[in-house]
């Protein structure tokens, strides 16, 4: 059992929790909580850490998981685990997991009726929003999520938790030039790309047929929306009509509404 808060492994996990450059260097992230750890792909697990209390009380699926992954599992004292954790009420289990960003060409692939819904994120900054978007994208049957380089880090602790496990199953990639990627999607892959925004010329989202060919939606920054060059690269804009005095919806809500409408029509 690890009992020292200054243990090298403990310090490294804390660095992964707090520093993007550490995660990027080793291509890993920290998954914390029983559900996230137990759902992690076995071949992506680099290390598992459990508190002494968790180990003592483990039963059922958790006990089976620990036996199965005994070779990469370390028990730490409750005090040490408290230092490693990033949540207010720790469950007592976390894992260091290899992250696997998908090659853009492989992920986008050729559009089809089954895998032809794509989500594009332009500058989403809130990691909680980002994680929730991934959760909705998986649930709606989205094939791929493409993100601008300045979108929040998907592998930060808050974003990982907000995905509720979708991070393991939702193919994604970052790109340096979103407008260029969108033009390529339209010209070379046959996607119709809709920018989600208000303003003149935007068509109500539920008046468009999303069943003919591959379709993509662009969701913009929570405060400033979609950048002008990205809007210009799209086929057009769609708007979600709203009652009351709200000017806009939360980015994750907007993404969910659009994705599920396209999924509904395709069913």
What number of other Cβ atoms are within 10 A of residue 1's Cβ?
A: 10
Look at residue 3 and tell me if it is in a domain.
no
The domain total for the chain is 2
When pLDDT is cut at 50, 70 and 90, the band that residue 107 belongs to is: low
Residues 242 and 196 both lie in one domain:
yes
> What gap in Å lies between CA 68 and CA 95, rounded to an integer?
14
Residues 111 and 187 both lie in one domain:
yes
Look at residue 1 and tell me if it is in a domain.
no
Look at residue 44 and tell me if it is in a domain.
yes
SS3 state at 148: strand
pLDDT of residue 106: 62
- Token pair, residue 21, equals 């450059």
Please calculate the CA angle 138-139-143 and round it to the nearest 5 degrees.
40
SS3 state at 113: coil
Residue showing tokens 């483990």: 58
Residue from 123, 72, 113 nearest 95 by CA: 72
Phi, psi of 78 (to 5 degrees): -60, -35
CB 15 within 8 A of CB 22: yes
- Token pair, residue 181, equals 């990627």
Which of 71, 98, 125 delimits the end of a domain? 98
pLDDT of residue 113: 47
User: Which 8-state DSSP code applies to residue 219?
Assistant: E
> What gap in Å lies between CA 74 and CA 76, rounded to an integer?
6
Q: Once rounded to an integer, what is the mean pLDDT over residues 114-133?
A: 91
* Host domain of residue 141: 104-266
Look at residue 130 and tell me if it is in a domain.
yes
Look at residue 207 and tell me if it is in a domain.
yes
Q: What is the pLDDT of residues 7-54, one digit of tens each?
A: 999 999 999 999 999 999 999 999 999 999 999 999 999 999 999 999
Residues 149 and 261 both lie in one domain:
yes
Which of 63, 98, 133 delimits the end of a domain? 98
Q: What is the pLDDT of residues 155-186, one digit of tens each?
A: 999 999 999 999 999 999 999 999 999 999 99
What pTM was computed for the model? 0.92
Residue from 170, 176, 127 nearest 148 by CA: 176
CATH code at 43? 3.30.1330.30
Look at residue 2 and tell me if it is in a domain.
no
Q: What is the pLDDT of residues 182-198, one digit of tens each?
A: 999 999 888 999 999 88
Helix, strand counts (H, E) of the chain? 12, 11
Residues 113 and 162 both lie in one domain:
yes
Q: At CB < 8 A and 24+ separation, what contacts does 17-25 make?
A: 17/84, 17/86, 17/157, 20/153, 20/155, 20/156, 23/99, 23/153, 23/155
User: Which 8-state DSSP code applies to residue 41?
Assistant: -
Residues 120 and 25 both lie in one domain:
no
pLDDT of residue 146: 94
Phi, psi of 106 (to 5 degrees): -65, -40
> What gap in Å lies between CA 30 and CA 116, rounded to an integer?
31
When pLDDT is cut at 50, 70 and 90, the band that residue 245 belongs to is: confident
CATH code at 149? 3.40.1280.10
Residues 122 and 249 both lie in one domain:
yes
Residues 170 and 233 both lie in one domain:
yes
Look at residue 176 and tell me if it is in a domain.
yes
In percent, the amount of the chain with pLDDT more than 70 equals 95
What number of other Cβ atoms are within 10 A of residue 225's Cβ?
A: 21
Residues 56 and 112 both lie in one domain:
no
Give me the sign of the Cα torsion angle 70, 76, 82, 83. negative
Residues 68 and 164 both lie in one domain:
no
User: Which 8-state DSSP code applies to residue 245?
Assistant: T
Residues 92 and 139 both lie in one domain:
no
Residues 69 and 149 both lie in one domain:
no
CB 114 within 8 A of CB 144: no
Residues 75 and 135 both lie in one domain:
no
């Amino acid at each position: 059992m690890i009992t020292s808060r200054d243990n090298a492994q403990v310090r490294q996990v804390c660095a992964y929790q707090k520093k993007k450059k550490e995660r990027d260097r080793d291509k890993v992230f920290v998954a914390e909580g029983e559900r996230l750890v137990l759902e992690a792909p076995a071949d992506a697990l680099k290390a598992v850490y459990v508190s002494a209390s968790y180990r003592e009380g483990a039963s059922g699926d958790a006990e089976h998981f620990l036996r199965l992954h005994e070779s990469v599992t370390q028990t730490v004292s409750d005090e040490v685990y408290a230092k490693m954790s990033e949540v207010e009420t720790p469950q007592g289990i976390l894992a260091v997991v290899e992250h696997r960003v998908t090659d853009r060409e492989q992920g986008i692939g050729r559009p089809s009726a089954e895998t032809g819904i794509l989500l594009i994120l332009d500058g989403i900054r809130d990691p909680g929003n980002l994680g929730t978007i991934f959760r909705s994208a998986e649930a709606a049957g989205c094939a791929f999520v493409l993100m601008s380089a300045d979108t929040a880090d998907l592998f930060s602790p808050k974003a990982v938790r907000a995905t509720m496990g979708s991070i393991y199953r939702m193919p994604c990639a970052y790109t340096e030039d979103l407008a260029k990627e969108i033009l390529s999607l339209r010209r070379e892959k046959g996607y119709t790309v809709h920018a989600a925004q208000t303003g003149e010329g935007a068509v109500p989202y539920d008046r468009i047929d999303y069943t003919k060919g591959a379709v993509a939606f662009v969701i913009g920054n929570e405060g400033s929306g979609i950048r002008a060059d990205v809007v210009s690269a799209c086929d057009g804009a769609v708007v979600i009509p709203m009652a009351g005095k709200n000017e806009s919806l939360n980015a994750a809500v907007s993404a969910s509404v659009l994705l599920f409408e396209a999924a509904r029509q395709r069913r």
